[in-house]
Amino acid sequence: MPALDQALRAALNNRHDLLVELHQQGTDCYRLFHGSQEGANGLTIDRYGPQLLVQTFHQPLNRNELLAAHELICAHLNQPLRLVYNDRSQGNSRIDRNDPIYPAEPAALEDLVGHEWGLNYRVRGRHAGQDPLLFLDLRNARGWVKQHSTGKSVLNLFAYTCGVGLSAAAGGAREVLNLDFAEGNLSVGKENAELNSQLAPMAFLQADYFAAIRQLAGLPIVARKRQNLPNYPRLQARQFDVVFLDPPAWAKSAFGTVDLLRDYQSLLKPAILTTAESGVLICCNNLAKVALADWREQVLRCAEKLGRPVRDCQVMPPAADFPSSDGQPPLKTLILQF
């Protein structure tokens, strides 16, 4: 497809300065092609260290297009990147594991290591989950955490593979707690910790968000109507200097529903109460249909109502490898200074 070749060349040219900067700062994980904004909706091409991960969400690429894109990128970066193609154009963005178009070479599917802000991250082109093990649009926020964690206690909520926790540990945090309910995600977080063994150890807590955060905030745990609650770890109420809240768009558990569109408040309120008096809460909303201005207003109002007015509120957009023509990237991040 000549159009894809042209769009990809333009995307690589647009990233020239950014890639120089990223390589200098010890980062080799970044987006090379953000299709929705760069001329091929539903196609993303990401570099994860030695691996090139191509994903399609609307329609598959054909083999020739895929191989031509791989060749162009390897030549441009002067790197023999190992190609993995995940077609996710079937229901619910699930990876088609039959690989009718291009099965990856075994070397591309090995456990590899990518780098961001000088830290090592586990990279796997295929694993039990659907998403890559590091969300690249959160890189700037992780960089902020690394710069502002010296001597702080840090709580990483919805930790996934613990990139935020790792950044805090690298920034000299005195204590880091990573919380997620998925054992598999936390176990990759533990691998990431082992890949950076020079850092102070982090703690990992496998728990439901609502069960854990409400205890930390000193709030009661509420069961859904007529439901018996599953067992959950008991925690003392306490606060952290830095709290990072990066929930998924939607998730339901026995303890509550994560719903970024209809109910950000029930996530935010206990997270604010768990943030120390002059601490920092970094909160995210990755739902494209939520406008930054509306969400920001909701967040500030919630803090005000809790008697915790925000002294400073900074917006942290993703870096230029996630271009957005309307200035409204799906991932919105606010850094709230209390």
Ligand X SMILES: C[S@@+](CC[C@H](N)C(=O)[O-])C[C@H]1O[C@@H](n2cnc3c(N)ncnc32)[C@H](O)[C@@H]1O
Taking the complex as a whole, how short is the minimal distance between the CB of residue 13 and ligand X, in angstroms?
29
Instruction: Report the distance separating Cα 84 and Cα 51, nearest Å.
Output: 7
Main-chain dihedrals φ then ψ at residue 247, nearest 5 degrees: -80, 160
Q: Which is nearer to ligand X, 87 or 180 (CB)?
A: 180
Taking the complex as a whole, how short is the minimal distance between the CB of residue 12 and ligand X, in angstroms?
26
Q: Which is nearer to ligand X, 182 or 235 (CB)?
A: 182
* Token pair of 65 as six digits: 């297009």
Taking the complex as a whole, how short is the minimal distance between the CB of residue 248 and ligand X, in angstroms?
4
- Give ∠ CA 287-293-299 in degrees, rounded to 5: 80
Q: Which is nearer to ligand X, 79 or 257 (CB)?
A: 257
Q: Which is nearer to ligand X, 10 or 203 (CB)?
A: 203
DSSP class per residue in 10-70: HHHHHTHHHHHHHHHTT--EEEEEEHHHHT-TTEEEEEETTEEEEEESSSPPPHHHHHHHH
Q: Which of 103, 106, 134 is nearest to 120 (CA)?
A: 134
Q: Which of 173, 178, 166 is nearest to 142 (CA)?
A: 166
The site for ligand X (CB under 6 A) is made up of 135, 138, 158-160, 163-164, 180-182, 185, 208-209, 246, 248, 251, 253, 258
Taking the complex as a whole, how short is the minimal distance between the CB of residue 232 and ligand X, in angstroms?
10
* Token pair of 324 as six digits: 């957005």
Taking the complex as a whole, how short is the minimal distance between the CB of residue 184 and ligand X, in angstroms?
8
Q: Which is nearer to ligand X, 182 or 316 (CB)?
A: 182
Taking the complex as a whole, how short is the minimal distance between the CB of residue 216 and ligand X, in angstroms?
13
Q: How many residues does the chain have?
A: 338
Q: Which is nearer to ligand X, 35 or 189 (CB)?
A: 189
